[in-house]
Amino acid sequence: MSYKKIWCVFVLKCCCFTTALAQNSVADSSIKKLELNEVIVCEHFSQQDEVFNFYRNNKSATTEEILLRMPGISLIRRGSYGMEPMLRGYSAGQINLTLDGMKIVGACTDKMDPVNIYVEPANLQSLQVTTGASGSGMGSTLGGGINMALKEPEFLCNNKPYVGFNSGYNTVNKSTSNSLFLNLNNNKIAWRISGAYRKADDYKTGGRVTVPFSGYEKTNVATSIIWQASEKHSLKADYLDDRGWNIGFPALTMDVGYAHASIASLSHTFQNDQNFFRTIKSKVYYNTIQHSMDDTRRPFVPMHMDMPGKSKTMGYFSEFSIKKIQKHMITGRVDASHSFTHAEMTMYPINEPAMFMLTLPDNYRINTGVFLKDDIKIDSVQLLSVSGRVDRMLSVMDSEFGKKQWSVFGTFPLQRVFYTSNIQLAYSRILSKSTSLKAGIGYAERAPTPNELYGYYLFNRLDNFDYTGNLLLKKEQAKQGEIEVNMVQKRTMVQAVFYYHHINNYILGELNPAWIAMTIGARGVKSYTNLSFARIYGGDFTFSHLFNKHLEHISTAKITVGADADGEALPQMPPLKCLHAFKFKKKGWFIQPEAEWALPQYRNSASFGEMETTAYSVFNLRLGYKFNTGGHAVHFSTSIENITDRTYREHLDFSAVTRPGRSFIFTLSYSFH
C-alpha cells in the first residue's frame, strides 16, 4: 500500500469513529499487528487503537498521558515528566520500548529517561502495544512491547503544503506547550518537519500546594523525508533531536540537569505483491543519549553530586512478509544491535578531594535475533498464530576502572553470553456472529539488563536501598497463558483479557546485610538476585458503546497482581484502575466527561517498604469545537482535570508526592492544506 493511499484512508476514517467501529470484523480485533505501514489508526481495529484514538483528541496531551489510558499500561511516576511505562506489571528490561522498531537505551541509571520522553505527540503516529511473548517481534521480552511509530511525511493527494500548529496552556503548572509541523510533497518526495517546545513551572497539587522541583523545559525537533523511488522501492531518512533542561523529579533526590537525545535512521521499503518476499522493510539506525542528573538547585543537600550518563546504540533490522502460501501468512524480522552505556558519579565534599565512581561501568552488549511468525487461517472462523524468536546477547564490561571497582566484590565473569528464546502460540476462534475467543500460551526469556549485571551502588528512591548488580544472574523465564474474549454487538463492544504468568528466576533486589550503603541516608545494600519464581496475573477490560451517532462511551479497567514464591506481594503492582468516558459530538462540538478511579492497594511488598495507597477518584471534563473550511482546520478545546481538586497519588507514584490538583487546560490547533 502506498503512502498516498494510507493517508487518504486516514483522513477519511479519522473523522468518523463510527464507521471504523462498524467496518471492522471480529476476527480483525484479535490480530495484533506488527507491520509498521499498516498500523495507521483506522486500518485495523483493536482495543488499543480505539482507546488511543479516543483520547488523542486532547491535542496538548503528552505521550505519557496517552500511554496512561491504554489497556494494560501503567506509569511509574517520579515527577511530572519522564514517567516510565509498565505493561501488565512488567517494566524496564522486561519490556521493549522501541521507537519505529529502533532500540534506544536510556542513559539514566535511575530510569528517569524512558524512551517515551523523547517522543512528542506532534510526531507520534501510533502506539503499538503487544503483550507477553507475543511482543518479541522487537526483541526478547517477558512483558511485551510498546512501539511508538513516528509520523511519516505524507503524500497528500493534491501535492499542496500542509502546515499546522498546536498551542496549549495548563494553569496547574503554568505550562505552555507549542508545536508546529510542515509537510511538503510532490509525487516522488515527501518531507515533514515538526518542532515542539514545552515549559512548565512547579505544579500545584490538590489544595493548591506547590510541589517543588516539578517543572521542566524541553524542545523536540523531528524531520523525515521519503523518496518514493519507484512503485516498489522507497527510501526514508529520519532525524529526531530532543533536549530537556531542569526536568524536576520531586520524588527523587536529584533532578535532570539536561538530557539530550539524537536519534537517526535510514529506512528502505520494498514492496511487490508478486514477489516471494512481498515486503521488506530495512532500517539502519544510530542514537545517542546524554543525560545528567543534578542537585545544584536543591537546598539542604548533604553533599553536591553530579551523575552524568550516556548511551549509544546502533542497529539494523529487516522486517519482511512472505507471499501467502496456502493458509500461511509468514512475517519475520532479523535484527542486530550494539548498545553502549556508561554512568558515573562525582561527589564534592567540602575541603576534601572529589569522590568518583562508575555507577554503571562502561559496557556494551551485542544483540542478534531472528523472529518469525506464521498466521495460519485454518478456516473462516479459526486462526492459529505461531511466533518465535531466538536471540544471542553478549554483554561485556569494558572499563578497567570498572573492573577494579568490581574486584571489591570478588572475582566474577565480566563477560556474559545469553541465549534467549520466545515462543507464542495463539488460537482465535469466532464462536458466533458476535463472539470470538482467543487463547494463547507462551514461553519467554530475557537477559538481565546492564543495571542488573553491572550496577554499582545505584540508589533506589523507592525502597531507599543502594543496588549493586550481580554478574551471576540467570535469565528470567516466563510461562504465560492468556485468554481473550471479544463480544461485538451492533453498538457495543466488550473485550476482556485474562493473563497468568509464572516467572522463573524473577530478578529482584535482595538485602545484603553485610554490606554498607554508599548513599547518605540509604538503608542498606541490595543485590539483584534470581527469585525461584514469581507469579503475575491480572486482566484488562474494555467496554464501549455507541448510544447514537452523537454519543459514545468507553470504559477501561486494568488490574495486575504479583506475588513471589512465598506469596508475598511483588513491589510496584498497580491495583484495579478504571477509566470511564462519554463523548458527545454534534456539529463540530464535543463534550467529554471522564471519571478515573482506583481501588486502594493493600497488597504491598513489605521487604520493599511499600506503603498502602488509598483509593481515589478524579473527574475531568473536556469541551471542544472544531471546524473545517477551505482547507483550514481549527480545533479549540478546553479541559478541567481533577475538578474536585483531589489530593491523591497512585500506587506506582514514587514517594508521597501527590498528583496535580484542579487544572484548566486550553489548547488551540490549526492546520491548513
Contact residues for another protein, defined by CB under 8 A: 303, 347, 349-350, 352-357, 401, 403-410, 456-457, 512, 514-520, 525
Nearer residue to another protein within complex by CB, 14 or 357: 357
Query: In the numeric block, which cell numbers belong to residue 445?
Result: 526469556
Nearer residue to another protein within complex by CB, 229 or 354: 354
Q: In whole angstroms, how close is the CB of 665 to another protein at the nearest point?
A: 44
* Residue 552 host element (H or E): strand 551-564
Find all residues with CB under 8 Å of 230, minimum gap 6, and list them: none
Nearer residue to another protein within complex by CB, 514 or 656: 514
AA identity, residue 600: P
Nearer residue to another protein within complex by CB, 352 or 566: 352
Nearer residue to another protein within complex by CB, 322 or 347: 347
Q: In whole angstroms, how close is the CB of 466 to another protein at the nearest point?
A: 9
DSSP string, 594-615: EEEEE--B----TTTTPPPB--
Q: In whole angstroms, how close is the CB of 353 to another protein at the nearest point?
A: 5
Q: In whole angstroms, how close is the CB of 354 to another protein at the nearest point?
A: 7
Cα(73)–Cα(135) distance, integer angstroms? 14
Cα(505)–Cα(298) distance, integer angstroms? 39
Nearer residue to another protein within complex by CB, 331 or 512: 512
Residue 456 burial (CB < 10 Å; 0-12/13-18/19+)?
buried
DSSP string, 11-55: HHHHT-HHHHHHH--HHHHTPPP--SGGGSTTTS--HHHHHHHHH
Q: Which residue has the cell 524512551?
A: 115
Q: In whole angstroms, how close is the CB of 405 to another protein at the nearest point?
A: 6
Q: In whole angstroms, how close is the CB of 307 to another protein at the nearest point?
A: 13
* DSSP classification of residue 407: G
Nearer residue to another protein within complex by CB, 361 or 538: 361
Cα(226)–Cα(6) distance, integer angstroms? 14
Q: In whole angstroms, how close is the CB of 350 to another protein at the nearest point?
A: 8
Q: Shortest CA distance to 76 belongs to which of 66, 87, 62?
A: 87
Q: Calculate the alpha carbon distances from 321 to 164, 281, 370, 374 in Å.
A: 35, 9, 14, 10
Q: In whole angstroms, how close is the CB of 298 to another protein at the nearest point?
A: 18
Nearer residue to another protein within complex by CB, 200 or 345: 345
Query: In the numeric block, which cell numbers belong to residue 353?
Result: 578531594
Nearer residue to another protein within complex by CB, 162 or 406: 406
Q: Which residue has the cell 520494498?
A: 270
Q: In whole angstroms, how close is the CB of 522 to another protein at the nearest point?
A: 9
Nearer residue to another protein within complex by CB, 457 or 648: 457
Nearer residue to another protein within complex by CB, 308 or 624: 308
Find all residues with CB under 8 Å of 411, minimum gap 6, and list them: none
AA identity, residue 558: K
Q: In whole angstroms, how close is the CB of 110 to another protein at the nearest point?
A: 18
Pairing between β-strand 73-76 and β-strand 84-87 as defined by DSSP bridges: antiparallel
Q: In whole angstroms, how close is the CB of 413 to another protein at the nearest point?
A: 16
Helix (H, G, I), strand (E, B), or coil: what is residue 83? coil
DSSP string, 104-141: ---S-TTS---GGGG--GGGEEEEEEEEGGGGGGGS--
